């Protein structure tokens, strides 16, 4: 009989091989390692998962598409960016995952995001596979017409790889309602089809779902609340630090306020704001969503309660709850140590892998409730799947119905992660619970469908 140590040795060897075959992709290596280090107990308890090639197939994308994206700016200059779509695993349903437009985008980043998406989507229980895409295009400072030209060029290649039964992209960093509109328009123009289910995050007047912009931020707060309830507490009266000031961060702040918590911070690449009265979410929306300004503008207009800290670390602000909602690896071991010293009780990841492995382990050793992104920020893709369901039925649900469904899904994800961790001897370890629960659902489907 294969022992747990035997399986750990096998998984360590597989990790080394994956790093060899995927050089210079540290984010992808990090995401794979985080999952593999939790699976030895599963392979021991469920020997059918040790079937040769199963985990190897799970760690290899089914398809990787890289393409050129030429476009012209308002001065007539031609630019050439690189586009990506990694269709990672479709055992549970069509590939589903966002598009990211940011200068940091490369193949390794997209593969890490796609790999995480496989497990996140499995946890929702909504029959969607995992994928991710994007470009190294930087939309910051570009005019609407430049962004439209870029999106049209991007979709001119991407359209041949997607479809409502094949691959359904959505938004991510740098891709909001404006970009989704331009992408959908070009898809419709090229294909001559009103295929509403091909993209999610659309406007509510033309196939989008209520609560979709809010869903990721709302969901991470709901997951944090569930972790606190497990410990006999709730969010009422708790202070919170939130990083970022984009879509996820804004609606994280909004939901914290709705549940009686006090969000103290927001941030961007220039620094962070601390607001002693709590973040004014309507002012933040005006500055970031309408004016596309900086958080320093928020501080200037908020008054005496707010101050801007240029280049600072938002995690130095004492609070009960931390919700990293900006980007990957933004919270390191030193930040975690500061948060622990300041008495943080729970951390819920609104962004994808925003906490380094060293920081995660520190939180766990300190007894802090830690909700990994594949569980805590699954609300966005969950409502995207609900948008797909509405598109298939040619109907639109009320905001109340969508929000009730989101709350149910996030509660179910929390319960699944909590119970799975306990079942495998790691009570309270949401990282282990999320990884194993997502893995079991995908692996069962892969085994049932044969060697493909």
Please indicate if the annotation marks 216 as binding a ligand: yes
Please indicate if the annotation marks 191 as binding a ligand: no
One-letter-per-residue 3-state SS of the chain: CCCHHHHHHHHHHHHHHHHHHCCCCHHHHHHHHHHHCCCHHHHHHCHHHHCCCHHHHHCCCCEEEEEEEEEECCCCCEEEEEEEEEEEECCCCCEEEEEEECCCCCHHHHHHHHHHHHHHHHHHCCCCEEEEEEECCCCCCCCHHHHHHHHHHHHHHHHHHCECCCEEEEECCCCCHHHHHHHHHHHHHHHCCCCHHHCCCCCHHHCCCCCCCCHHHHHHHHHHHHHHHHCCCCCCCCEEEECCCCHHHHHHHHHHHHCCCEECEEEECCEEEEECCCCCHHHHHHHHHHCCCCHHHHHHHHCCCEEEEECCCHHHCCCCEEECCCCCCCECHHHHHHHHHCCCCEEECCCCCCECHHHHHHHHHCCCEEECHHHHCCHHHHHHHHHHHHHHHCCCCCHHHHHHHHHHHHHHHHHHHHHHHHHCCCCCCHHHHHHHHHHHHHHHHHHHHCCC
Half-sphere exposure of 45 (CA within 13 A, CB side): 11
CA distance linking residue 377 with residue 358, whole number of Å: 20
Mark whether 132 is an active-site residue.
yes
Please indicate if the annotation marks 384 as binding a ligand: yes
Candidate list 132, 202, 255, 345, residue with the active-site label? 132
CA distance linking residue 413 with residue 122, whole number of Å: 10
Residue closest to 250 by CA, chosen among 300, 200, 314, 295? 295
Please indicate if the annotation marks 93 as binding a ligand: no
Please indicate if the annotation marks 143 as binding a ligand: no
Please indicate if the annotation marks 117 as binding a ligand: yes
Please indicate if the annotation marks 247 as binding a ligand: yes
As annotated, the active-site residues are 132
Binding residues for NAD(+): 216, 247
Could you list the residues known to form a binding site, using ranges: 96, 117, 120, 171, 216, 247, 384
Annotated binding site for substrate: 96, 117, 120, 171, 384
């Amino acid at each position: 009989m294969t022992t747990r140590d035997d399986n750990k040795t096998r998984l360590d060897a597989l990790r080394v091989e994956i790093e060899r075959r995927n050089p210079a992709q540290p984010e992808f290596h990090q995401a794979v390692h985080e999952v593999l280090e939790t699976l030895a107990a599963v392979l021991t308890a469920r020997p059918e998962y040790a079937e040769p090639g199963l985990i190897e197939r799970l760690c290899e994308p089914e398809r990787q598409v890289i393409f050129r994206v030429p476009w012209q700016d308002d001065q007539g200059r031609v630019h050439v960016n690189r586009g990506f779509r990694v269709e990672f695993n479709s055992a549970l349903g069509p590939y589903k995952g966002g598009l990211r437009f940011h200068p940091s985008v490369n193949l390794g980043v997209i593969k890490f995001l796609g790999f995480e998406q496989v497990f996140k989507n499995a946890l929702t229980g909504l029959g969607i596979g995992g994928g991710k895409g994007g470009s190294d295009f930087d939309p910051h400072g570009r005019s609407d017409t430049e962004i439209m030209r870029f999106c049209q060029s991007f979709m001119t290649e991407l359209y041949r790889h997607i479809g409502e039964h094949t691959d359904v992209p959505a938004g991510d960093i740098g891709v909001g309602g404006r970009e989704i509109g331009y992408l959908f328009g070009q898809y419709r123009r090229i294909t001559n089809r009103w295929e509403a289910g091909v993209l999610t995050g659309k406007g509510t007047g033309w196939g989008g779902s209520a609560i979709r912009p809010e869903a990721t931020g709302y969901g991470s707060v709901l997951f944090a609340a569930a972790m606190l309830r497990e410990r006999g507490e709730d969010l009422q009266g708790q202070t919170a630090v939130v990083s970022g000031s984009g879509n996820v961060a804004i609606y994280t702040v909004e939901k914290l306020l709705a549940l009686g918590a006090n969000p103290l911070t927001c941030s961007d690449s220039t620094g962070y704001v601390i607001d002693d009265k709590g973040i004014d979410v309507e002012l933040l929306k005006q500055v970031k969503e309408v004016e596309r300004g900086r958080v320093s503008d928020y501080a200037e207009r908020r008054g005496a309660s707010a101050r801007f800290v240029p280049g600072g670390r938002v995690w130095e602000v004492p609070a009960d709850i931390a919700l990293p909602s900006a980007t990957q690896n933004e919270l390191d071991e030193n930040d975690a140590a500061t948060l622990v010293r300041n008495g943080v009780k729970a951390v819920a990841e609104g962004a994808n892998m925003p906490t380094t492995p060293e920081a995660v382990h520190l939180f766990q050793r300190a007894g802090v409730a830690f909700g990994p992104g594949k569980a805590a920020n699954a609300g966005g893709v969950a409502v995207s799947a609900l948008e797909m369901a509405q598109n298939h039925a040619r109907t639109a649900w009320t905001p109340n119905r969508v929000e009730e469904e989101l709350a149910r899904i996030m509660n179910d994800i929390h319960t699944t992660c909590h119970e799975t961790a306990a079942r495998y001897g790691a009570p309270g370890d949401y990282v282990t619970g999320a990884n194993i629960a997502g893995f079991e659902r995908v692996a069962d489907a892969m085994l049932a469908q044969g060697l493909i």
